[in-house]
Each structure stands twice: as structure tokens, then as C-alpha cells.
Amino acid sequence: MPGAAIHVVGIAIAALWRRPASGREAAPGRRWRILLLWLAAAACWPAQAEPGVYPNRIVIGQSIGMTGPLSSLARQCAIGAKAYFSEINAQGGIYGRKIEMVSRDDGYQADVARANTERLLNVDRVFALFGHAGWPGIDASLPAITRARVPFLFPCTGAPSLYRNVNRYVFTMRASYTREYRYLLERFGRFGVKSVALVYQNNSFGRQLLSGLEEEAAARSIALSPIEGSTEGNFPALIRRMMALRPDAVLLVNGDPAINSAVVRGMQEAGYQGRFFGASVIGVRALADALGPLSRGVIIAQVVPSPWQVSMPLVADYRKTMLGSGVSEFSFGSMEGFISARVFVEALRRAGRNPTREKLINALESINEYNFDHRGFPLNFSPNRHGGSDYVDTTVMAGDAVFVN
């Protein structure tokens, strides 16, 4: 019952309570009538609404590094998701509710990301968290997210901590960084690579990746030489050390575009003729901007289909949506955000007209390649599998922001 009708019931109860009992209406009978009116009002009063769910909108939130070292990738993910949400909203939303996404900048700082996440949960009271970006901030925020029992959906990162165990509230759409780098090591045999100089950042995240890759390389009889990457100090000496190793390939295992571009440029200027490899985390757009033609031939692992693979229906949908939202610059990052938004919208539909967080989780767990129109990019979720895809492919930079398979 609308609020106005409930208000009328309240007025009737108050009037009945104040009116003296007549001779024909005993006090007990009048009290029964008042009780029945109160019960009717209680039955009509709406139940406590789910956080973030309103009559005409559903509010979700994210903390991403719109500034900072990985801002290019984070912004692209958000652009792709917002483009798809805008398309859905223009069609009237889901069951009449439009999707509103609150984005907060954390500058790739863990403490800021944690504070942003707490604000999204406790102040903005979002329905779900969607598309967080930044490994350090996600690791710092996950305990609070799990305690709050809020769905944490499709972060734009392959942070290994998201993949170790099934967390009821965490869903990923893409392969992990570990999976990407292992894929590259598996493919090195095709390129005749037997020795690799691995450039990593000496922090907790870099060391996590390095540990797993050392084991994988040893199992494949690949000689791996870890090099701590930094643009500070004597960088020319670092390049001389790498050149002395005479590696068949250089593997970029970090997300800092400044380090990656300096390594590629320094090695090429020193006469290096081998291959450079990296994963989606390395910041390909920033790398292309920094290197220009020098980026030609750099091989990158990607976790979503190429935005230039126009024969795939999903890619055609993506390009149409992006152009419809006024974005003519295509990227793997915005493709990732677009796919994540498609899956979220599908889960929201399956959650029904009165969605709750638990209904959303159950809906997500029901999505698989046989009952979802994946348009060429299969995704499979279940109660025991919250990682939708293990897809990894390689692309080659063409000397600008365009890639070829």
C-alpha cells in the first residue's frame, strides 16, 4: 500500500482511539477494531528495503585508481561498464530500475581504497561492489567486504588473492595474473625461448608472482633470471646487467608503465634483438603512448577477446555500444568492463523484481555457457566456481594502441 494510504489508516486509528465509546459500542469491541486496523497497517507497511535498491534505481559502487600508475587500465574498465549500463538505462533499466554506479578514486593507494570501500558500504550503502581496480587496495578491502556480506563483483584485476579459494561474495570474470604468466611460459617453447630475464617489482605483490613463476619455469627447463625493476638509481647499469645475460626473451612482471617502457626502450637502444612479453597488467595503452613505434612486436597476454576481432558477435556488440555512448577508442580494458557489465545485468534480471544480495549471488551462480547468450565468450559460474573464465590469448602490439593476434 502507498504511504498516503498508510497515513490515512493512521488517522483513522487515532480518531477511533480518541472517540468515547457509545452505549451501543463497548470498549472491548472498539479495541478489537483498533487492533485490526493496526494489523492492516502493519501488513501494508513495506519491508526493510535492501541496501542500494530503490523504486527507480539500483546503486552499485567501485573504488578505482582514476589517478596513479595504473589509471589508464582502471579508467578504461570503468568506461566500458558505464557504456553498457547507459545502454540498459536508456531502455528503461532492469524492472524499471536504472543502474547507478558510484566511482571513487583511490589513486592506487591501499589505505584510500579501503576507506573508499567502507564509505561505499556504510554511507552510500550500495547494493554491490562492482569493478574495483588495484591489487593492493583490493587485498586491503576484502576482509571488510566479506564481513559485510556484500557481493564483490568482477574486479578489473587478476590479483591472485581473489582466486585461491571460493569466497561466497567474490566473483571474477577474468583469468588471474598467475594464469596469464603461466600461459606465456607455456608458449615460450613455440618461440624457442630457453632463457628469460624477468623484470619484477620488489614488493609483496611482485614477490608473490615471482615465486610461482620460478617453479613453473623450472618445470619447463627455462632458465629464469629475476631482475628487480626500478627507474630509480643507476638504470643504465640495470640495462647492462640484462644485456650481459643475453636472454632469449624479457618478461615484464609488473604493472608500472614507467618501468616497462624504460626497460623496452633501454634494451632496444642497447641493441637487444629478442622478444618482450607481458601480461594485461603492464598498462598497454600507457606503454604504447610512452614508446610509440618502439612498442612494435611486444607480445601481451590478454584475458578478453580483442576489440578488433570484429567477426565475434560479442565484439560487434561492444563496438556498437561504445560508439553509441560517444567513445570511439577501443581497448582491452573497456572490453573487460563491458563484459562484466553484461554479466551483472543478466544476474540482476535473474534475481527478479525484488532483488536482494543473496538472490543476486544465487543468480550469478546459475550463469553458464549453456543458458547465457555469451556471444562468443563463454562464462561458467556455479556454487563451487566463482571465476567465470580462464581465457588467455596473446596479442602483438603494432606500434601504437592497436593489437594484432
- Domain definitions of the chain by residue range: 3-44, 53-173+309-389, 178-302
Equal fold, 53-173+309-389 vs 178-302: yes
End-to-end CA distance of the chain: 58
Helix axes of 284-291 and 257-269: crossing angle, nearest 10 degrees:
40
Nearest to 103 by CA among 133, 142, 144: 133
What are the mean pLDDT values of the chain's consecutive 10-residue runs (405 residues total)?
42 50 53 50 53 98 93 94 98 98 96 98 98 95 96 96 95 96 91 93 86 91 93 86 97 90 95 95 84 92 94 98 96 96 98 98 98 96 98 87 63
Q: What is the pLDDT of residue 333?
A: 94
Q: What is the pLDDT of residue 125?
A: 97
CATH code of the domain made up of 53-173+309-389? 3.40.50.2300
- 3-state DSSP helix/strand/coil % of the chain, to nearest 5: 50, 15, 35
Q: What is the pLDDT of residue 350?
A: 98
Q: What is the pLDDT of residue 129?
A: 98
Nine-digit cell string for 334: 573497456
- String of b and e for 266-280 (b: at least 16 CB within 10 Å)? bbbeeebebbbbbbb
Superfamily for the 178-302 domain: Response regulator (3.40.50.2300)
**SS3 state of residue 130:** strand
- Between CA 205 and CA 213, with CA 209 as vertex, the angle to 5 degrees is 165
- Greatest CA span in the chain, whole angstroms? 109
Write down the residue that cell numbers 598498462 correspond to.
283
Sheet holding 275-278, edge to edge: 223-228, 195-200, 249-253, 275-278, 299-302, 393-397, 403-404
DSSP 20: P
Q: Which amino acid is at 15?
A: A
Q: What is the pLDDT of residue 18?
A: 55
pTM score: 0.86
**SS3 state of residue 298:** coil
Helix axes of 332-351 and 313-324: crossing angle, nearest 10 degrees:
100
- Other C-beta atoms closer than 10 Å to the C-beta of 56 total 9
Please state whether 355 falls in left (phi above 0), alpha (psi between -120 and 50) or beta: beta
The full length of the chain comes to 405
Distance set, CA 399 to CA 69, 147, 272, 294 (Å): 21, 46, 17, 6
Q: Which amino acid is at 242?
A: M
